[in-house]
Structure 1
Amino acid sequence: MGSFIKKDLLVFWRDRKEMLMTLLLPIIIIVVLNYAFAGIFNDDKEATKLDIAFVQVDDEEKGFVQFKEKIQQLGLSQAEKETMLEHVENLSPITLIRNFINNPDVKEWVNAKELTWEEATDQVESGELDAIIRVPEGFTYEVLSTVMLGDKSTTALTIHAAKQSTEVTTLQNIVNEFVNSLNMNFALGREGTLSAAEPVLPQGGREVVEGIDTYTISQYFIVAIGTLFGLFLAQSVALKTVTEKRERVFNRILLTNSNPMHFLLGKTVSTFILAWLQLMITITVTQLLLNIFPDKSVSFWFGMVLVFTSFSLMVAGLSAIFTSITLNLKDSNAVSGLTTLIIMSLGVLGGSFFPLEGFPELLQRIGEWTPNGLTMIAMIEYIQFSQFSDLLLPIVVLVAMSVVCFVIGMFMFPKRGRV
């Protein structure tokens, strides 16, 4: 059987162009995608800071005077008026907004400075500032009337920006959440329970649980692209059989009284060797170039190699089926189309083109049992928890799948006289 393995490896080696594409293309794609998406899926520590202006057009003192005059005109008892005025003394909407902007959590990604409206608009137009938070005229009076008396407000805190961006949208969302919490605190104040404490700010960002590492988009790419090209390698090796079939290599093997199964085993073992080498080269080169798995221990790499070795066995089993299909079908275009359809289906369902989380739950369940999907899920959990025990079941399933595929390939393999 060793001669058959050597034959298939030499056949693949002689096609230098295809060999280079098989080994280099996944590396190139991973590097390109990593840099293309680096600005979108960047780490929190590298988040862009926003430069904003805080513009107060409203006269806060005037707003308090107007509201107190309005209270005196209401048909309330003197005790009720005094109680309401006491609550108002502890309320300052603009001060709360200013404290929010200067909150340490907000200042980590927002640089704010107080300017006039003219200065702020000029700096936004020149690109010095990203956005303006504007407190319009009558804001204090409107807010106090709304939260204390239930009047309808026609004045709102506004955000102005020269262009929309992800950061500006995030700022809008957080300010909206802050205003909602502010309204809630003021509403509680109407029940007599408002304290002068700072309102709770909306929480955002990424929560990191102790002992759990999050996986990055680069780590997703290396698993997704690596497994996808591994599947295509099964097709490449199997399609080499078309040339051997055309040149009647298989018939000559039969005439030598060799066991036909050695031919299939040669294809299977050579596919395993090539798939394993492809994955190891891809992981090694991308790690050296991009440091995709920083500060990982030797035991982590050992577990990773075991997972991809199991996946390579699955690819080898798949090549046995593809080889048998190639020998049974007379039209090489039909063989290429059918095998491509199978691989593309596995690629889509297994999350090699986009994460499984984007699928409906039913398709997610199906995708988790594809070879590449199972490898993806296993690696994501392993990256996060680094528990070797989590790899045992996926490894066993992948090996079992490879055995089942090889057995199917054996049953599909043509008998003597049928080729």
Structure 2
Amino acid sequence: MIFRFSLYGFLKNQKYYEPFILLAFLQMGLTYTLIGLLIAFRELMVNLMEIPSGAIADVWGRRRSMIVSFFAYILHFSLVGTAGTFALNGLISFPLLIVLLFVSMLFFAVGDAFRTGTHKAMIFTWLRLQGRSDAKTEVYGYTRSWSQIGSAVSVLIACCFVYFSRSYVQIFYFSIIPYVINIINFMGYPKELDGEGNEDANLGRILAHIKESFTGIFQKKSLRRLILESMGYEGFFKSIKDYLQPILQQAALPVIAVFFAGISMNQEQQSVILIGPVYFLLYALSASASKQSHKLVKKTGSEDSSAKILWLGMLVLMAVLIPGMYFNIYWIMISGFVAYYVLQNLWTPVLISRFDAHSSEAQGATVMSIQSQSKSIATMVIAPLAGLAVDFMKVHHIGLSEFWPVPVIGFIISGLFLISSNNRK
């Protein structure tokens, strides 16, 4: 089963659009503020569907939920690709484009809501059935490393596709293929990984399951703390991680002037010059970090101690990025984002293991969905604020780069959690 779990992660992360998604929206004519609102809407929809979807997975069956999730993702890819293609060819108006993008985000939210938490719960159920619950950080970190390897492979494929197609938008269609293959992969999962649910799912039972899970979480102080930490660390990361793309696009210009002066390339092709190698390195390092996260836990003595070190790492990194971004020092900006991806992939296996240690088997997918929902709430707030701040700095020419408010937000968040952690101790 570890092979199938790893294959799921590898195929799930064949997101050929991901290294270019912000650039694709900018190519369609969206501002950073509009992009932030689009992300906020997506997270709001995920937020509304997250808990019911987790409960449905626990009660109705986790394998079925995963299949529904990937069908919704496929609809999202199809709609974004079609809307973007029509917009670039002048076949639809800008307001209609925005409407279609918001509808596509609704499908993405369905996919995310039915997936997040569900597959993690399946892994932890399998470990319990195998009598290997003490290896959850190691096994989850290993399977997550294959997700990052999948991302590293996908960025090379995506860069080739963008270079030869000269378009960011068409790549959404290409992303459908691995998701179809993953649906086939789910069909081979054993039935016992569905959890303790049965075929008699009904609305009353699902609502009762949600109430029971929420009561359990908010009566437990340790779970409340984990929810807040998830909002701070993962919500911020999800809000700002794609700002690396326009930074790389800008940084590519001097590189091209020196090394590719005699080659004629459009803007899309130019962006590939740095996005390809940087994202490949980023995902390769992230895969290693995820795989080795259990060693950090062993060295520090506990998941909680590891989490405190990772909060400190984020604080220091943001402190370095603030002047680096203000003065538009590309090597600091790029290396800082790469380091932040590595920290994030050390953080996630540690956080998930902490959640699993404080929740029951029967409520596994629901608790993980609540964790994911909390991250969505934070993203829903941070993404549009970051977009507004970046647009404001760009319009008023404050700083040599408009992106410097982003690490300021991260510095404040990490500082607050470190202070509260010390107070708790």
Higher relative contact order (CA 8 A, sep 6+): 2
- The reply to whether TM is greater than 0.5 is no
Q: Normalising to structure 2: TM-score of the pair?
A: 0.29
More helix by share: 2
More strand by share: 1
Q: Normalising to structure 1: TM-score of the pair?
A: 0.30
